[in-house]
Amino acid sequence: MSSATVSLATRTVRGACPHDCPDTCALRITVEDGRVTRVAGDPDHPPTHGALCTKVSRYPERSYHPDRVLTPLKRVGRKGEGRFEPCGWDEALDDIAARLQAIAARDPQAILPYSYAGTMGLVQGDGMAARFFHRLGASLLDRTICSSAGGEALTAAYGLPVGMHAEHFAESRLILIWGSNSITSNLHFWTYAQQAKRNGAKLVCLDPRRTETAEKCHQHIALLPGTDGALALALMHELIVNDGLDLDYLERHVAGWPELRERALQWPPERAAAECGITADEVRGLARDYAATKPAAIRLNYGMQRVRGGGNAVRLIAMLPCLTGAWRHRAGGLLLSSSGWFRPHMRSAWLQRPDLLGERRPRTINMSTIGDDLLRETSAGFGPRVEAVVVYNSNPVAVAPESAKVARGFAREDLFTVVLEHFLTDTADHADYVLPATTQLEHWDAHRAYGHTYAMLNEPAIPPLGQSRSNAEVFRQLAARMGYTEPCFADSDEAMARGAFDPEHVDPAALAEKGWAKLKIADAPFAKGGFPTPDGRARAGTAPGLGVPDYMPNYEGPRSAPELAARYPLAMISPPARHFLNSSFANVDSLRAAEREPLLEMHAQDAAARGIASGATVRVFNDRGSYLCKAEVNARARPGVVNGLGVWWRKFGLAGTNVNELTHQQLTDIGRAPAFYDCLVEVAPCDGPAAVA
């Protein structure tokens, strides 16, 4: 597969971007004299169309970063201090295997794997690691930190998390960019939206923050966080009373509409406008545009589901294209996630081997409540106290909610912690052993995507740097030391990457040759219904285990918690800073320089009321803690809402904390996810009198 030998010493290798992003770009990696000199987007891969984001075009800078961990490290300081000394692989792996075995002899559930999407690879993610932990019988991890509210809600509505092809947005006449900052976090979708705009389409952005995306749309509706469900109900109200329904589509392809219709009729525009903090005319105008413009498409994204009612809101919004029959056209409908399209074509059971559990049914721990769970004692409801955590592809101390508790949990002297990492992150600082991991330039992997419909393959461009090893190799070697003899523990990374997809559906030859292969999915997949539900209909009313969808106000807001809202009157959202990817890249100097320092955006009115000038250091606080950062008074923030851009490493923060010091561990209505953007705070000048909580 290594193609296009330019000279003996220069070659181009095909890869896939591993990051947690809907775009999953196809990469062309230039290697000169054994060193990667350039990472570029593949011009032939339609979604990538030759372009990469600023972050990933710096992937070589990240991989060859002087701070990269390149030998195993063993803790010499106190927990959390981040003092280590190098040790050999054999010493580290022998000790880790012995420690895990001793715990497992009492109860393997006291061991917790903790991972997310640092790489989204099917091999270096939960491939060999899943086999290992299944064989061990460790606690299972509920991977909820990002998308499970929306993912499960979409499943309730359509049967699977599936939607439009990204490419077809280019032909839409109206695009609602809803809870998404495409230019920051879904750049390649934005290219399609731009094409549509050039062809005369109207773009409307629904986002509490005036993002760079909102600025470039024709209209920006700056609703209050967590009120999307109310808006969706009012749009339905307008479609009903103004004859905007496609009754034929509803009749044939949608179940449960009469129940939802009753509910929507209770939401005239004025009611929703009051809830959303917008005008009734904005609601009416949006409904009119949505009913009249065909094809109309919704790019829904995960920003709007990080609140208590995020799941219900997704269920409601997912019904809009069913009400108007927008699905009849390939450029109409909705896209939140495309990941469900891959599900039938991935060899998940082979990759992860849940059968290795045998009769055992270990408990499940929710990654979003890791703060509380690491601090829990053994109890009947919970099971054994967590004695060991093995972290890979994640930085929970920085990214999980209520991080003071997470940090306290990881600081437990009696907790045995192993972290597979590229860098000494906030989490790695708390490890007993840090194991040096390879980057995407150095290992094999296979990828699906959640924002397009191409399967991808990643070939290593260079051998592992220093003594780094792939995640899969580490778990393979631990398995050998634990005496696991099942043949699956001998599968190579390459064999797993090449075997990840069902060859009947994903052509292995195309995948090997081009590095990507498009799934075979109809152009307008739901033009004639055919949703992946048992009866082929979308579900507007009840769904398995769920009632008729409804608007649910935030946990922390004037409606649910008036007393709290009186003390902490500002709603805080904490969407990503453009140059970071979650907490990844926070340590790449050029990207951190671009972000300068942790910021809180405030509207002039809210700043003036508190005597805060732009550039001042402020204390952002609530009952859970406080966070120091710089205020930026600008028009990105709407009145009543502050934007604490994330996710900085705590150790780069002004007082060693980040925005998650303020977020809480209450879970969403559906999908057991964190409600990061459902958070009340107050802000004070750093040394002012109000700074005393």
Ligand X SMILES: Nc1nc2c(c(=O)[nH]1)N[C@H]1C(S)=C(S)[C@@H](COP(=O)(O)OP(=O)(O)OC[C@H]3O[C@@H](n4cnc5c(=O)[nH]c(N)nc54)[C@H](O)[C@@H]3O)O[C@H]1N2
User: Where does this chain bind ligand X (CB under 6 A)?
Assistant: 20-21, 116-119, 124, 145-146, 178-181, 184-186, 206-209, 211, 225-226, 228, 301-304, 307, 392-395, 399, 420-423, 425, 437, 471, 573-576, 578, 580-584, 646-647, 659-660, 663, 676-677
DSSP 193-258: HHHHHHTT-EEEEE-SS--HHHHHSSEEE-PPTT-HHHHHHHHHHHHHHTT---HHHHHHHEESHH
- Residue 249's binding partner, choosing from ligand X, Mo ion, none, with beta-carbon cut-off 5 to 8 A by kind? none
- Residue 181's binding partner, choosing from Mo ion, ligand X, none, with beta-carbon cut-off 5 to 8 A by kind? ligand X
Residue 677 CB, nearest distance to ligand X (Å)?
A: 4
Tokens standing for residue 550: 């409804």
Tokens standing for residue 407: 């940090």
- Residue 304's binding partner, choosing from ligand X, Mo ion, none, with beta-carbon cut-off 5 to 8 A by kind? ligand X
Going by C-alpha positions, the residue among 495, 670, 649, 497 that lies closest to residue 581 is 649
Single-letter amino acid code for the residue at 223:
L
- Residue 339's binding partner, choosing from Mo ion, ligand X, none, with beta-carbon cut-off 5 to 8 A by kind? none
In 8-93, the DSSP E strands lie at: 10-16, 26-32, 35-41, 73-75, 84-86
Of 19 and 664, which CB lies nearer to Mo ion in the complex structure? 19
Residue 436 CB, nearest distance to ligand X (Å)?
A: 9
Of 284 and 469, which CB lies nearer to ligand X in the complex structure? 469
Of 191 and 663, which CB lies nearer to ligand X in the complex structure? 663
Of 21 and 141, which CB lies nearer to ligand X in the complex structure? 21
Q: How far apart are CA 397 and CA 649, in angstroms?
A: 9
With left for phi above 0 and alpha for psi between -120 and 50, is residue 55 left, alpha or beta?
alpha
Of 129 and 488, which CB lies nearer to ligand X in the complex structure? 129
Residue 20 CB, nearest distance to Mo ion (Å)?
A: 5
Residue 477 CB, nearest distance to ligand X (Å)?
A: 14
Residue 117 CB, nearest distance to ligand X (Å)?
A: 5
Sketch the per residue contact string, 138 through 177, with Mo ion: x for CB under 5 A, - otherwise: --------x-------------------------------
Residue 231 touching Mo ion (CB under 5 A): no
Q: How far apart are CA 410 and CA 389, in angstroms?
A: 9
- Residue 584's binding partner, choosing from ligand X, Mo ion, none, with beta-carbon cut-off 5 to 8 A by kind? ligand X
Residue 521 CB, nearest distance to ligand X (Å)?
A: 22
Of 128 and 346, which CB lies nearer to ligand X in the complex structure? 128
Residue 365 touching Mo ion (CB under 5 A): no
Q: How far apart are CA 203 and CA 78, in angstroms?
A: 53
Q: What's phi and psi for 181, nearest 5 deg?
A: -105, 80
Of 157 and 335, which CB lies nearer to ligand X in the complex structure? 335
Q: How far apart are CA 275 and CA 613, in angstroms?
A: 30
Of 451 and 653, which CB lies nearer to Mo ion in the complex structure? 451
DSSP 344-405: GGB-HHHHH-GGGGTT----EEEGGGHHHHHHPPPBTTTBSPP-EEEEES--HHHHSSSHHH
- Residue 48's binding partner, choosing from Mo ion, ligand X, none, with beta-carbon cut-off 5 to 8 A by kind? none
Single-letter amino acid code for the residue at 622:
N
Going by C-alpha positions, the residue among 350, 426, 408, 465 that lies closest to residue 583 is 426
- Residue 180's binding partner, choosing from ligand X, Mo ion, none, with beta-carbon cut-off 5 to 8 A by kind? ligand X
Q: Closest residue (Cβ) to Mo ion?
A: 146
Q: Is 635 exposed, middle or buried (CB count within 10 Å of its CB: 0-12, 13-18, 19+)?
A: exposed
What number of CA atoms fall less than 13 Å from residue 14's CA on the CB side? 21
Binding site for Mo ion (CB under 5 A): 146
